[in-house]
């Protein structure tokens, strides 16, 4: 497998990395396994010194780390800085709260005493995507390191500089060798890592197909796993929504990270009385985005991450139109150097159209019109995914009511689906299982051990 930095803005090859040999991989697993035996015995205070130290380094190195994101996968520089800060906040959050989240819990049994203790599992393995090169790592590493586990990560092949920079961050913060390990390995080696008895848990963020392969391998080895497999989030606009503010959020929800986000708004479900004015303003706002150098703060439309990502989207649009969808705008490559695609809107998408079921990971919005909120919920739920959704309405009680009936892991009212350290993140159905972030995230890879104390007197 190739680990190579290619700037999607101009196609320049920035740096190439040599993948691990099998011997190097085995040595790395041995180091991690040995590290676990000492790291697990550290107190929460001792672990927090390292994790909080890494957070401080991220804040101090915002520009340096953000530049790597923009160079490797094309994220607009201001958004890249925001990702670095968010990642640092996640590290800091767990450094401050892990001890409380994993404190021994007293139970009240019918007799005697009982409590639940939380203890680490061991060496954990994560497979992570390129879309948020630090955030994905932070939300896996921070809770698990604070819980006393150690982590090994195979990052995406197109962001190796971000991957190595994040590993160095931990070493600079004082983490022992093996606490956090970046693995430059092939897909065949991924299977061998999962099979290794020293690996006690597996986490993946990626495609549905990748999730099926990795979850199956973990299952064959009876290892706990969590899967975050993307989504096709509904963005529901009711007839009483604040149109101007909703359109502003719609552009952000669709175009943040150039649409390359698991929780990006992908299906815009509009009640018919508001559909025409919404679509007019939405189309105008997307048309105003200006492609350019993502390092320039004035640029509002960045490139996609790779040439292959662009080709996949163009093919999806072509197949959707061939199956009867209407191309409202865009749908083409922008005629300029770099991996740029026009912001795109598709409508008239029938259930038989392949686009109806697919995830569009980029600047493509699917627009649907419905008669009322009941149809909106039914359409939102008619998806193989179930990661997030959002509802825009002036009536919060109405929004809460709809949220109860939407089948997804997260529903936001008057805000696009998004993430924060103190909010649980995860989905259902083909969007995967398990939760990351918040108290829920740190509970995934710990042993919730019952300890029962009874009278020693034997029954008569």
Taking domain 233-413, whether its CATH number is 3.40.309.10 is answered by yes
pLDDT in tens, 228-281: 999 999 999 999 999 999 999 999 999 999 999 999 999 999 999 999 999 999
Q: Where are the domains of the chain?
A: 3-229+422-451, 233-413
The enclosing H or E element of 126 equals: strand 123-127
pLDDT in tens, 185-233: 999 999 999 999 999 999 999 999 999 999 999 999 999 999 999 999 9
What's the confidence (pLDDT) of residue 459? 74
Q: Tell me: pLDDT of 2 over 90.
A: no
Residue % of the chain over a pLDDT of 90: 98
Same fold, 3-229+422-451 and 233-413: no
Q: Tell me: pLDDT of 135 over 90.
A: yes
Tell me the pTM.
0.97
Q: What b/e readout covers 83-111, taking b as 16+ CB neighbours within 10 angstroms?
A: bbbbbbbbbbbbbebbeebbeeeeeeeee
The enclosing H or E element of 105 equals: strand 105-107
Please give the Cα distance from 229 to 212 (Å, whole number): 9
The enclosing H or E element of 100 equals: helix 77-101
Q: How confident is the model at residue 458 (pLDDT cuts 50, 70, 90)?
A: confident
Q: What is the DSSP letter of 423?
A: S
Question: Which CATH architecture describes the domain 3-229+422-451?
Answer: 3-Layer(aba) Sandwich (3.40)
What's the confidence (pLDDT) of residue 460? 67
Q: Output the average pLDDT for the chain.
A: 97
Per-residue pLDDT, averaged over 104-113, amounts to: 95
Please give the Cα distance from 314 to 254 (Å, whole number): 17
Q: What is the DSSP letter of 256?
A: G
What's the confidence (pLDDT) of residue 150? 99
Residue % of the chain over a pLDDT of 70: 100
Q: Tell me: pLDDT of 154 over 90.
A: yes
pLDDT in tens, 15-31: 999 999 999 999 999 99
Q: Tell me: pLDDT of 323 over 90.
A: yes
Picking from 435, 262, 253, 426, the residue whose alpha carbon sits closest to that of residue 359 is 262
pLDDT in tens, 346-365: 999 999 999 999 999 999 99
- Residues marked active site are found at 228, 262
């Amino acid at each position: 497998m190739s680990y190579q930095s290619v700037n999607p803005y101009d196609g320049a090859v920035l740096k190439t990395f040599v993948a691990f040999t099998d011997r190097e991989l085995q040595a790395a697993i041995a180091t991690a396994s040995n590290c676990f035996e000492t790291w697990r015995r550290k107190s929460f205070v001792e672990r927090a010194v390292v994790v909080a130290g890494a957070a401080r380094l991220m804040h101090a190195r915002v520009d340096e780390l953000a530049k790597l994101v923009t160079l490797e996968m094309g994220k607009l520089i201001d958004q890249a800085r925001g990702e670095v800060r968010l990642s640092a906040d996640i590290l800091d959050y767990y450094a401050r709260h892990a001890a409380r989240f994993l404190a021994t819990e007293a139970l009240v049994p019918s007799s005697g005493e009982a409590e639940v203790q939380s203890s680490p599992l061991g060496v954990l393995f994560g497979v992570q995507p390129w879309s948020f090169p630090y955030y994905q790592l932070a939300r896996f590493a921070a809770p698990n390191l604070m819980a006393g586990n150690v982590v090994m990560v195979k990052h995406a092949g197109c962001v190796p500089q971000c991957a190595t920079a994040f590993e160095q961050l931990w070493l600079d913060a004082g983490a022992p060798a093996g606490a956090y390990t970046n693995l430059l390995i092939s897909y065949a080696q991924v299977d061998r890592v999962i099979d290794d008895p020293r690996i006690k848990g597996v986490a993946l963020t990626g495609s549905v197909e990748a999730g099926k392969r990795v979850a199956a391998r973990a299952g064959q080895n009876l290892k706990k796993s969590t899967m975050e497999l993307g989504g096709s989030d509904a963005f529901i606009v009711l007839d009483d929504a604040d149109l101007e503010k909703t359109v502003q959020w719609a552009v952000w929800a669709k175009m943040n990270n150039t649409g390359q986000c698991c929780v990006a708004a992908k299906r815009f479900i509009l009640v018919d009385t508001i559909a025409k004015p919404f679509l007019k303003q939405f189309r105008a706002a997307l048309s105003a985005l200006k492609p350019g150098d993502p390092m320039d703060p004035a640029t509002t439309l960045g490139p996609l991450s790779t040439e292959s990502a662009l080709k996949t989207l163009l093919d999806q649009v072509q197949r959707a139109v061939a199956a009867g969808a209407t191309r409202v705008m865009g749908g083409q490559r922008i005629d300029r150097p770099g991996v740029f695609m026009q912001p795109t809107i598709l409508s008239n998408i029938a259930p038989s159209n392949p686009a109806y079921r697919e995830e569009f990971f980029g600047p493509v919005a699917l627009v649907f019109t419905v008669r009322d909120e009941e149809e909106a919920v039914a359409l939102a739920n008619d998806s193989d995914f179930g990661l997030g959704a959002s509802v825009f309405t002036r009536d919060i009680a109405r929004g809460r009511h709809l949220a109860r009936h939407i089948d997804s892991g997260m529903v936001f009212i008057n805000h696009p689906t998004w993430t924060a350290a103190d909010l649980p993140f995860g989905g259902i159905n083909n969007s995967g299982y398990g939760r990351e972030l918040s108290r829920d995230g740190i509970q995934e890879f710990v042993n919730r051990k019952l300890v029962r104390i009874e009278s020693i007197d034997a029954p008569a």
